């Protein structure tokens, strides 16, 4: 079987190669990550985006902010049972409930 390269695979194929499905339902990003655990995905040679922003508009048509119920920064699962449309304030409140404090607000 011929080895495929970056040019012959779709962005969706390349994306899914970097996902590890967990028993708890999370799709954990295995590619490059930021210092606080959010995945990075190179859409093309000139554009890098946050991994969890890649599939939502494509799969669900959502343009609003989507918040993860799991509060796992590395999770890229995009179905409506795992994410919900909310605001940045909703997301902040959810993170505080589970003690997920953004890096820039940590005191130690």
- What is the model's pTM? 0.71
Q: Cα(first)–Cα(last) distance of the chain, in Å?
A: 51
Are the C-beta atoms of 39 and 74 separated by less than 8 Å?
A: yes
CATH code at position 25: 3.90.75
Domain count, the chain: 1
The reply to whether 53 falls in a domain is: yes
Q: Domain limits at 66?
A: 11-99
Dihedral Cα 72, 77, 81, 85, nearest 10 deg: 80
Per-residue pLDDT of 49-96, as tens digits, reads 888 878 766 666 666 677 777 878 888 988 777 877 777 787 777 777
Torsion of the alpha carbons at 42, 35, 102 and 104, rounded to the nearest 10:
-110
Q: d(Cα 55, Cα 78) in Å, to the nearest integer?
A: 7
pLDDT recorded at residue 96: 72
């Amino acid at each position: 079987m011929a080895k495929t390269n970056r040019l012959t695979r779709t962005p969706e194929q390349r994306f899914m190669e970097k996902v590890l499905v967990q028993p708890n339902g999370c799709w954990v990003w295995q590619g490059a990550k930021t210092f606080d655990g959010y995945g990075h995905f190179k859409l093309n040679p000139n554009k890098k985006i946050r991994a969890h922003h890649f599939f939502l508009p494509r799969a669900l048509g959502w343009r609003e902010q989507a918040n993860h119920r799991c509060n796992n920064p590395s999770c890229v699962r995009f179905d409506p049972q795992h994410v919900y449309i909310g605001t940045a304030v909703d997301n902040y409140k959810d993170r505080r409930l589970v003690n997920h404090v953004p890096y820039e607000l940590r005191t130690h």
